[in-house]
Structure 1
Amino acid sequence: MNSTTPSDTPLTEEVRDKLRNVTTATLTTLLLRRGFTNTFMKEVRPVAAGKRQMVGEAYTLRLVPYREDLGNIFSRDNRRDIQRVTVETMPEGHVLVIDSRGDAGAASCGEILVMRMMVRGVEGIVTDGGFRDSPSIGMLDIPTYQKMPAAPPIMVRHHPVEANCAIACGGLTVFPGDIVVGDQEGVVVIPRALAAEIADEAVKKEDVEEFIALCVLAGEPINDIYPPTPPLLERHAEWVRNGRKTNAVERMQA
């Protein structure tokens, strides 16, 4: 399968759980090893610190520049407006990724719509524009990411035209069904076909790096341990066998 082609295979809870426990830094390294150099969204940051890790399949929304003959926000038909329809119909567990063309001159979304998606079980929301009501959105129990706050209403700059299509967001191409992971550093997009193997490798990589961190804190120089060498990996395996105890590191140094 072409790694850029969305798959019909659902994101399993096992893969989701693995991705919840690794960092975007680790994921970008593993994707780079496969030749993917552009996987971390530019200038897209968490609205608020301390949220749970965001992992879900991408559901996309494309905004174009607003034009005065496209209608008035104060007289929109909620049952036909693409933004409102998306809010009410996108699948739970997915991440809404909004192509705002990097323009935070007006809101891509606001608190009430974010609240509605949270209640419906949406996993998270990402825009390369901005949210209005950002302080309140940051207090909700849903991970959200933006370029910067944007108080003006959507029609000042944007008009929603298409949902669940290929988009650009934060300098990345995002296909429906791509796997979107967000932590306190930002947002990574993983081609759907690679998600399971990347998740497995990420868990293993971070387990080794946990051991390396203990060695560094115990006073070892990095020359022979980072990046991990075969002897280091042998020591890591022994550490695992010993129950991952800190004092096992000290014994292996002796």
Structure 2
Amino acid sequence: MSKLSDATRNKLKSVSTATVATALYKRGLRIQCIQDVHPLSPDQPVLVGEAFTLRYMPAREDLNRLEVFRDRSHPQRKAIEDCPPGAVLVVDSRKDARAASAGAILVTRLMQRGVAGVVTDGGFRDSAEIAKLGFPAYHQRPSAPTNLTLHQAIEINGPIGCGDAPVFPGDVILGDADGVIVIPAHLADDIADETLEMTAFEDFVASEVRNGRGIFGLYPATDEQTLKDFAVWRQKMGR
């Protein structure tokens, strides 16, 4: 059963990966952003969910022939059917875009099962088809169609590295137009609360800057008047 509450999930859907990165940095966590992954579609929804992981390794050809995919215990196939609804399938493909982590059929199956989204630091086959699904999906870049067996799936739901970020099963994944960040599970509620407050303040600051106000004393809020003005703005905006 998911440990991520609906309240925390909804809060995280309203904040940005950049704001979360700042909140994590305050806690000494500097490498939580998954590097060099991109949304397949600019219109896909914000991604929030707990990590369910899949790890690949370089294929040994005699152990990774096409017939292995007939095995129901094959880690890739099993991960597609076992990833819980509301979770995010996070794939360690060793930052190799040649590695086809999945294709449109498997990603469609994830979507139909209620999975929140999928992230790989490798590539997807059928990336144009996946982009049309309206399903949150992130990859490095498309895989060549012939590279289905370049890597082999080896482990489900263990700790992985994805795009240089550590990902443990149950960590909370947030993906937006800028990229994907990993929130350690035990920090998710606190980060959601803090970043919701940070977002309100940043929206206030952006409004003030658009109206011609300078940043000294405003951002960061080192002038007492800034906090007074922010309180008035929050009341006016219902934030």
Contact 1:132–1:153 under 8 Å retained in 2: no
Higher alpha-carbon Rg:
1
CA distance in 2 between counterparts of 1:10 and 1:154 reads: 36
Q: Secondary structure of the residue that 1:156 maps to in structure 2?
A: coil
- Per the TM alignment, residue 50 of structure 1 is displaced from its structure 2 partner at its CA by 1.3
CA distance in 2 between counterparts of 1:149 and 1:244 reads: 43
* Count of residues paired in the alignment: 238
Q: Which residue of 1 aligns with 2:235?
A: 241
Percent of matched pairs sharing the same residue: 44
- Per the TM alignment, residue 238 of structure 1 is displaced from its structure 2 partner at its CA by 1.6
- Per the TM alignment, residue 154 of structure 1 is displaced from its structure 2 partner at its CA by 5.1
Contact 2:69–2:77 under 8 Å retained in 1: no
Contact 2:17–2:181 under 8 Å retained in 1: yes
For residues 41-82 of structure 1, the C-alpha deviation after alignment (integer angstroms, 9 at most, x for no partner) is 111111111111000000000001011111312453241211
Q: Secondary structure of the residue that 1:233 maps to in structure 2?
A: helix
Judge which range, 220-229 or 174-183, deviates more: 220-229
Residue 164 in structure 1 maps to residue 157 in structure 2? yes
Contact 1:108–1:154 under 8 Å retained in 2: no
Q: Which residue of 1 aligns with 2:74?
A: 81
From 27, 51, 55, the equivalent of 1:58 is: 51
Give 4+ residue runs of structure 1 displaced > 6 Å after superposition. none
CA distance in 2 between counterparts of 1:203 and 1:122 reads: 25
Q: How does 1:43-122 map to 2 (within 5 A)?
A: 43-74=36-67, 76-122=69-115
TM-score (normalizing by structure 1):
0.90
Contact 2:43–2:134 under 8 Å retained in 1: no
Contact 2:64–2:152 under 8 Å retained in 1: no
Closer/same/farther in 2, CA of residues 192 and 63 from structure 1, 3 Å limit: same
Contact 1:118–1:141 under 8 Å retained in 2: no
From 172, 177, 190, the equivalent of 2:183 is: 190
Contact 1:23–1:183 under 8 Å retained in 2: yes
- Aligned residues: CA RMSD: 1.6
CA distance in 1 between counterparts of 2:33 and 2:166 reads: 11
Q: What is the letter of the counterpart of residue 223 of structure 1?
A: F
**Residue ranges of structure 2 left out of the alignment (5+ in a row):** none
